[in-house]
Amino acid sequence: MSDQTSQRGFMMSGDDVWGDHAIRATDLKAHPQDITYAGVTSYLRRPYRKDLKGVDAVVYGVPFDTATTNRPGTRFGPRGIRAASTGLAFEKLPYGLDYHPIDEMAIADHGDMPLDFAKPDAVPDAITKCAKDVLDEDTMMVAMGGDHFITYPLIKAHAEKHGAPLSIIHFDAHTDTWADEHEDGINHGTMFWHATREGLIDPATSVQIGIRTCNLDTMGFNILDAPWVHQNGIEKTISEARRIVGDKKCYLTFDIDCLDPSYAPGTGTPVVGGLTTNQANQIVMGMKGVNIVGADLVEVAPVYDVGEITALAGATLILHFLALFARAPWRTA
């Protein structure tokens, strides 16, 4: 037997691991060698890590969906996104980028947050704590939802780490600024109402992209709704969004229902007339150099998906989020 071959038949050379990269690789910057349709699944085949020593960024699942107002099922979002990401993991250079975030940052999959389904009222604080534990290690994080409520406790943790108020770049069909009749309500349509009232985010330097549902109280957010994006195009959307947020530290949150249901049917509250995957990809990539401090991708519900296209869109967008992390000015200064 060759000394380059393990007893199970996988090819190995130092940190170059053939098979089950997610649990066997020791080099966080190594590219995986796995077959796309087999092996232990992690996001982009990144090594699973609970110890964050030497880790620059993690992808972290938040399997929570009891705040939804329509169809549930986003608790399976992290699992679906991970599975879809295996088709992206072999790319040495993502199309449209001149660098790969894996080459510039030590990136790990941190697994899923341990949330107690029997104590839903305790979930928001648990999410904040899990996020703080990551941020306290000076590790950046992309959270995979889960419904959109998770953004509220995540923003709490990021605002404590980076200072309040943060700006947000928010992709969605809905503004999520509806007033909550409960001060401690857990509702995925009220997060930014709460966060704004608590001074965690600044609407004047924040932008909401792709909106196409009516909410008369915008709370002062700048809105580039879906018709505006379609009429004005990708480049003008990028330019206007960058003008609004300026050099402020930003949190990026992407509800997959920002995409038209023809591109993302696997979600709980689909609305027609949304962005295409191309528009979304290009606009997100156009945020390179903006001061992104954290991000999430929410509302992927695999049970309603068709051919995994929603999960694939989410997995691809997260790859671009990580690319933004790698070039965030506050991090590289």
Other beta carbons within 10 Å of 329: 12
Smallest CA-to-CA distance from 94 within 232, 285, 242 is with 285
Residue 332: pLDDT band (50, 70, 90) is confident
- Mean pLDDT on 283-301: 98
137 Cβ contact list (under 8 Å, min separation 6)? 52, 53, 55
Residue 83 pLDDT exceeds 70: yes
Sheet holding 57-62, edge to edge: 107-112, 57-62, 140-145, 292-298, 250-255, 167-171, 207-209, 222-224
- Give the whole-number percent of the chain exceeding pLDDT 70: 95
- Mean pLDDT on 236-264: 98
Reduce the DSSP state of residue 103 to 3 states and report it.
helix
Reduce the DSSP state of residue 117 to 3 states and report it.
coil
Average the pLDDT over each of 164-168, 190-194, 274-278, 314-318 and give the range with the smallest value. 190-194
Token digits of residue 72: 């549930």
Amino acid identity of residue 149, one-letter, is F
- Mean pLDDT on 102-125: 96
- Which pLDDT score, from 0 to 100, does residue 17 have? 57
- Which pLDDT score, from 0 to 100, does residue 33 have? 83
User: Reduced to 3 DSSP states, what percent helix, strand and coil does the chain have, rounded to the nearest 5?
Assistant: 35, 15, 50
Residue 179: pLDDT band (50, 70, 90) is confident
- Give the whole-number percent of the chain exceeding pLDDT 90: 84
Residue 13 pLDDT exceeds 80: no
Other beta carbons within 10 Å of 103: 11
Residue 6 pLDDT exceeds 70: no
- Which pLDDT score, from 0 to 100, does residue 107 have? 98
- Which pLDDT score, from 0 to 100, does residue 298 have? 98
Query: In whole numbers, what is the pLDDT of the chain averaged over residues?
Result: 93
94-107 pLDDT, tens digit per residue, is 998 999 999 999 99
30-67 pLDDT, tens digit per residue, is 998 888 899 999 999 999 999 999 999 999 999 999 98
Tokens 């982009």 -> residue: 44
- Which pLDDT score, from 0 to 100, does residue 292 have? 98
- Which pLDDT score, from 0 to 100, does residue 16 have? 55
Amino acid identity of residue 81, one-letter, is I
- Which pLDDT score, from 0 to 100, does residue 217 have? 86
Report the alpha-carbon distance of residue 189 to residue 177 in Å, rounded: 6
Report the alpha-carbon distance of residue 12 to residue 266 in Å, rounded: 38
Residue 15 pLDDT exceeds 70: no
Residue 156 pLDDT exceeds 90: yes
- Which pLDDT score, from 0 to 100, does residue 162 have? 98
Residue 333: pLDDT band (50, 70, 90) is confident
Rounded to two decimals, what is the model's pTM? 0.94
Q: Which residue has the higher pLDDT, 214 or 332?
A: 214
Amino acid identity of residue 5, one-letter, is T
Q: Which domains does the chain have, with CATH numbers?
A: 1-40 (no CATH), 48-332 (3.40.800.10)
- Which pLDDT score, from 0 to 100, does residue 3 have? 39
- The string of DSSP codes covering 78-95 is HHHHHHHHTTTTT-SS-T
- Which pLDDT score, from 0 to 100, does residue 283 have? 98
